Structure 1
Amino acid sequence: MDANVKQFIELDTEHKEYLLTDDLDNLQKEKKMKENVVTEWKSKFDKNNTGKITLSEICKVQNVDIKEARKQYGTPPPELADVEIIETDMPEAMRVKVCRMINEGMKTHEKDEAGLVNYLKKELDNTFGRLWHVVTVYGRYYTFYTYEMGYNFTFKKNERIFIVYKTPDCEELSNNQQ
């Protein structure tokens, strides 16, 4: 496995598939990493200076299959065994809870797609705070959306694609800026 991917996996203890560059500075000292690693990673894997380095970007730059890289996290929890991640920055523990909700919802709303999506949105809002969105898709799709960092999980489960994300609370953001 590529050394950069391996090191990223070791640093990403929550399996959220991203690291903030500010956190990398602290991790560099804490983990006694080589001095130039953070600077190198920022220039190689965060060319747009987003402040975020993703497993996806490292794999793309290093020409590593992301599915193979994800295996380095170890055996996934049972709730994620039948899940093919498309994109995520959600911590693994939260993804497990989301999949539990989906499994429960699929039992009670087996043939009612609108009911399933409505159930999931309400469960997510009640469990993790408001402003969640749930989209289910069969087949090909294209989307572009804004989400709150750490709250995005797009995956395929059986033949259905789930797009689950939380938008930032504009009211909360404006209160924090005052």
Structure 2
Amino acid sequence: MRRNTIQQHSALFKLGSDIEYISGDMMLPQQINVSNEARKLYQEYECNNKISIATKLKEFLDKAYGRSWHVTVVDGSFASSYTQEVNTSFHFKMKNLCYLIWKTPEYIDE
């Protein structure tokens, strides 16, 4: 129900003021859900454990949006190149950490 409300009224919803959007093509309702989960994990791990934050955020994404998500959490400069499914990338900064999130296509060998 809440997801439908966000999608229907997306102009009313925004990323938190602590989120600096870097790039991506993920839809805003999903960006909000992802950044809210990242914020929760940041507070839970007191920003000390990037590996745990990335692992738990990936688990959240796999459960909420299907498998094949990739999450990188960095505290400095970065560069990346990857192939992704449409509407599944979101790069943002929150406090001192940058988050790179994307989903790769699931290929089935026949």
TM-score bracket, normalised by the shorter chain, equals 0.7 to 0.9
Q: Once the 2 structures are TM-superposed, how far is the Cα of residue 88 of structure 1 from its aligned partner?
A: 1.2
Larger Rg: 1
Q: Secondary structure at the match of 1:163?
A: strand
Q: Give the letter for the 2:70 counterpart.
A: H
Q: Once the 2 structures are TM-superposed, how far is the Cα of residue 75 of structure 1 from its aligned partner?
A: 7.2
Structure 1 residue 102 corresponds to structure 2 residue 38: yes
Q: Once the 2 structures are TM-superposed, how far is the Cα of residue 107 of structure 1 from its aligned partner?
A: 2.2
Question: Which runs of no fewer than 5 residues in structure 2 stay unpaired?
Answer: 1-6
Matches within 5 A, 1:20-169: 77=14, 79-110=15-46, 111-169=48-106
Aligned-pair identity in percent equals 27
Matched positions, count: 101
- TM-score of the two chains, using structure 1 as the length reference: 0.52
Question: Which runs of no fewer than 5 residues in structure 1 stay unpaired?
Answer: 1-13, 15-72
- TM-score of the two chains, using structure 2 as the length reference: 0.81
Distance of 1:128 and 1:104 partners within structure 2: 18
Cα RMSD of the aligned pairs, angstroms, is 2.0
Q: Once the 2 structures are TM-superposed, how far is the Cα of residue 131 of structure 1 from its aligned partner?
A: 0.5
- Asked if the contact 2:50–2:74 (Cα under 8 Å) also holds between the matched residues in 1, the reply is no
In the TM superposition, structure 1's runs of 4+ consecutive aligned residues that sit over 3 Å from their partners are 73-76
Structure with the higher fraction of residues in helix conformation? 1
Q: Secondary structure at the match of 2:78?
A: coil
Structure with the higher fraction of residues in strand conformation? 2
